Amino acid sequence: MAVPKRKMSRSNTRTRRSQWKTSAPHLVECSNRACRTPKPQHVVCPACGQYSGRQVNEPA
């Protein structure tokens, strides 16, 4: 079985992990004029429960 020849240094470990990044989700305003809450695109508004003028969910 293949095994690592050398211990991975802390520096190398941390350099690798420094590339683990998060990105901010892309948010748009809800199209409901009364709501206008930022929400992910193409998703039923979590605040007012509407999507393209339709009431889908109960508002939270």
Instruction: State both tokens at 10.
Output: 């802390």
How near is the Cβ of 24 to other proteins at its closest, in Å?
16
CA distances (Å), origin 26, targets 1, 2, 13, 44, 47: 45, 43, 30, 15, 17
* Residue 11 amino acid letter: S
Task: Closer to other proteins by CB, 5 or 26: give it.
Answer: 26
How near is the Cβ of 51 to other proteins at its closest, in Å?
5
Total residue length of the chain: 60
Q: Which residues bind other proteins (CB under 8 A)?
A: 33, 40, 42-44, 46, 51, 53-54, 56-57
How near is the Cβ of 59 to other proteins at its closest, in Å?
13
